[in-house]
Homo-oligomer: A and B are copies of this chain.
Amino acid sequence: MVNVAILGFGTVGSGVAEVIRKNGEHISERVANQIALKYILDVRDFPDSPFADKIIHDFSVIEQDPEVEVVVETIGGARIAWEFTRRALSAGKSVVTSNKELVATHGYELMQLAKEKNVSYLFEASVGGGIPILKPIRSCLAANELQEITGILNGTTNYILTRMIRAGLSFEEALKEAQANGYAEQNPAADIEGHDACRKICILSSLGFGRQVSPEQVPTQGITDITLSDVDFARSAGMKIKLLGRALRRESDGRVCAYVAPHLVSDESPLANVEGVFNAITVVGDAVGSVMFYGQGAGKMATASAVVADVMEAARAKRYIASNCWEAGGEDVVYSSDEISSRWYVRVGDELDVPGAKRLHAPNAPEGESAWVTDKACTAPVMAAALNGRDVKVMFRVLE
């Protein structure tokens, strides 16, 4: 018997309890051991929940119970979740989480602690919800030197962009609709400003390339400046606008450039056809070429199923899993996105030519503005110099 405690009975935490109950027999069979839910920690009581008898309010009960082998942390954030994770690992318990903020900021330190205590710290659900991505990277693709990871990592912004593209809604209208449908939070900043995607590309980059990449090393641009005319301009070029998280490894010194920004993506690219709340992540390796993982990137049961799969792995391994780790970060891990050349999309507040660029057309674009795609690739500083003095409304890369 493997006893599990869940920290935080919110959306994902209650989903984990449900998956364990619903598929318990099947799960225990596969682990060749019974997975039993012993405690659920929350500040609230849930008298009407079928799990009411599991609810406790004092973390030290879990910490001090030697029967608890696996702790599921679904509190979120990097404050109390951080403290409880450290205490659980220190007490010799494996920890499984969907908490991208905590892994992106303190992943290395927590994995070191797990290693020291010979337990697991697993977080498949922190990227892409239920989509298998971290384990395939560390396992199936392990014989490759990875070269690039590029993904649509945030379902909320992809939903908003899809509704702008498909239904002609404005950004504000699409955001309101996303909120009404439960796809966006009342305070949508973390999604629309790109911070959620930033945390995810940090985790992907750290795991894929081997050293901690931290959010402050990742330039992050959201979608708040994108207008319907940008969508129309893109369409006239056979392109779609997508918010991408990217991590590129430089062959010469192994440094990584990670950033989050909107991109023009050709209609022919598999990423262009990823719509609504779906996520997709492409991974490029030296042997495998390009592979893509696709599915709903969020959702209670999908995310919970990824958490439970990690619980199963921790229950089976009963030790530190060496393949699931990366080395310490540092300034020498990254290089600047200013060094990356690409073609550029730019919308400016006048009708003057942008040198070396092709003008795009949109029937309802605001008068006095124009949008352009450059013919040749160049870096951001070169592009900025070329646009010096111009009123740049929005500027981002074309995905090559």
A interface residues with partner B (beta carbon < 8 Å): 15, 19, 22-23, 26-27, 30, 32, 124, 130-132, 135-136, 139-145, 270, 273, 285-296, 299, 301-302, 304-306, 308-309, 311-313, 316, 322-323
| A312/B143 contact (C-beta < 8 A), A290-B295, A292-B295, A293-B293 known | yes
- Chain B residues with CB under 8 Å of A293's CB are 132, 291-294
CB atoms of B145 and A140 under 8 A apart: no
Report 22 cross-chain contacts, Cβ distance below 8 Å, ordered by A residue: A15-B287, A19-B143, A22-B287, A26-B145, A130-B287, A130-B291, A132-B140, A132-B291, A139-B139, A141-B305, A142-B309, A143-B305, A273-B273, A288-B305, A290-B295, A290-B296, A291-B295, A291-B296, A292-B292, A293-B293, A294-B294, A316-B323
Set B135, B273, B302, B311: member contacting A287, Cβ < 8 A = B302
CB atoms of B143 and A309 under 8 A apart: yes
- Chain B residues with CB under 8 Å of A273's CB are 270, 273
CB atoms of A289 and B130 under 8 A apart: yes
A237 to B136, CA, bound (A): 37
Known: A287-B301, A292-B294, A294-B294. 15 other contacts (CB 8 A): A15-B287, A23-B143, A23-B144, A130-B288, A142-B309, A142-B312, A143-B308, A270-B294, A273-B273, A286-B301, A288-B295, A288-B296, A291-B295, A292-B292, A292-B293
- Chain B residues with CB under 8 Å of A26's CB are 145
Number of this chain's copies in the assembly equals 2
- Chain B residues with CB under 8 Å of A292's CB are 292-295
- Chain B residues with CB under 8 Å of A304's CB are 143, 287
| A143/B27 contact (C-beta < 8 A), A270-B273, A273-B270, A295-B292 known | yes
CB atoms of A301 and B313 under 8 A apart: no
CB atoms of A294 and B291 under 8 A apart: yes
Q: How far is the CB of A280 from chain B (nearest CB, A)?
A: 8
CB atoms of A136 and B140 under 8 A apart: yes
CB atoms of A306 and B288 under 8 A apart: yes
- Chain B residues with CB under 8 Å of A316's CB are 323
- Chain B residues with CB under 8 Å of A131's CB are 288, 291
CB atoms of B288 and A27 under 8 A apart: no
- Chain B residues with CB under 8 Å of A312's CB are 142-143
